[in-house]
Amino acid sequence: MTVTDPPPDALPAALTATVDLDAIAHNVGVVRAAAGADVIAVVKANGYGHGAVPVARAALAAGAVELGVAHIAEAVALRNAGLDAHITAWLHTTNASFDAAISADVDIALSSRRQLALVVDAARRLGRTATVTAKVDTGLNRSGVARDEWADFADDLAKANAGGAVHVRAIMCHLVRGDEPDHPLNSQQAERLDLAAADLARLGSPAEVMHIANSPAALTRPDLARDLVRPGIALYGCTPIPERGDFGLVPAMTLRAEVALVKKLAAGQGVSYNHQWTSDRDTVIAVVPAGYADGVPRLLSNRMRVQVNGRSFPQVGRICMDQFVIDLGPDGGGVAEGDIAELFGTGTDGAPIAREWAEEIGTIDYEIITGVGARALRQYVGREALGAETARDVAAAQR
């Protein structure tokens, strides 16, 4: 059975992203086993493009114990969908709605004294205790409490905790070189976070839990796991360290499009804007209705392949906003209008995986899967797709 995300009366979509929620569940199990620790399922960026609510439900059903997102709005959306698991949000602008986070019982990860002061003000205004995480900059030099601010931040946090404005639930950091498991900075960052946690305990506001490990560290450095691990990309079946293999992860998304048009092309004729590809023989071409607005990178022009009916065909000419062209060869490759082109998927059927696209253009598969656009119809397969709640969630997402 398949659950799709638009209302029943929606028009057909030219492009479909099929998400296997059983693969999500499998990947949660892989990470838990490797790390020897419980999992915070990171579902930011709409579940890395897969759909945050269905993915969150599948991950929690598979044994994940918490959820993580970047923005408060993402956390509140999960709450509004009925998810009652612990949720942490860790990236906040000056106009972040801490009132909304506190009201929705979202764990607010704090990166500065200024953020802490705003959360304390909001908590007192609402007459509630805010749940917070101390996010420490242990070397990434991005978000997180700076080293020169830490002592004052820790004092402020302890006072706010003692006064009941906040409850210190966790302490966390982000790794610089998690995808280089043997790099000494990984252990150094963990030691710095341990020292910060000791500071909070000494001040009377100990953190209940600590989390450090991202996907690569969770899979390769169980010594960094502490209380929880915080995987993102691994949950979606993309290996965070390709040179070490796939770790048994299963890609969750398969991107497909219907062949819109098949036509003959004479030798010497060019294809698409600026004729960056010209056929050297009479051939047959097909139009696939997906382009860079849908997450097919323009940089892949003349450098990618797709699979139709079990056969691989090269993409030719410039990739456009809404469409690209494939060369079917002189015999047409047995392809007809209405056939399904697989752009990327699990790789088990010989079709490309997202990493193939990424490596071709010098990026990472995180960028590929999160870039799949809103015009792609998300449909869900697997045991979690059978639930009525999931069906309602994904239908509501398009209203």
Active site residue ranges: 44, 273
Biggest CA-to-CA distance, the chain: 79
- Torsion from C-alpha of 197, 72, 50, 356, nearest 10 degrees: -60
Type of residue at 134: A
User: Is 392 annotated for ligand binding?
Assistant: no
C-alpha distances (whole Å) from 77 to each of 84, 103, 128 are: 11, 13, 21
Separation between Cα atoms, residue 384 and residue 56, nearest integer Å? 10
Q: Where are the beta strands (DSSP E) in 57-198?
A: 66-69, 86-89, 107-110, 130-135, 166-172
Residues 54/393, Cβ–Cβ less than 8 Å: yes
Q: Residues 296, 290: contact at Cβ < 8 Å? A: yes
CB atoms < 10 A from the CB of 110, how many? Answer: 29
Range list of β-strands (E), 143-276: 166-172, 209-211, 228-229, 253-258, 261-265, 270-271
Structure token digits, residue 381: 């397969």
Query: Does residue 1 have a known ligand-binding role?
Result: no
CA–CA separation, 123 and 102 (whole Å) = 7
CA distance 383 to 385: 5
DSSP string, 275-298: G-EE-SS-EEEEEES--GGGT--G
DSSP state of 244: G
Cα dihedral value 102, 107, 111, 117, nearest 10: 30
Give Cβ neighbours of residue 153 (< 8 Å, ≥ 6 apart).
110, 112, 113, 116, 134, 145
Cα distances (Å, whole numbers) of residue 247 to 217, 218, 237, 243: 12, 11, 9, 11
Query: Which segments are annotated as binding site for substrate?
Result: 142, 321
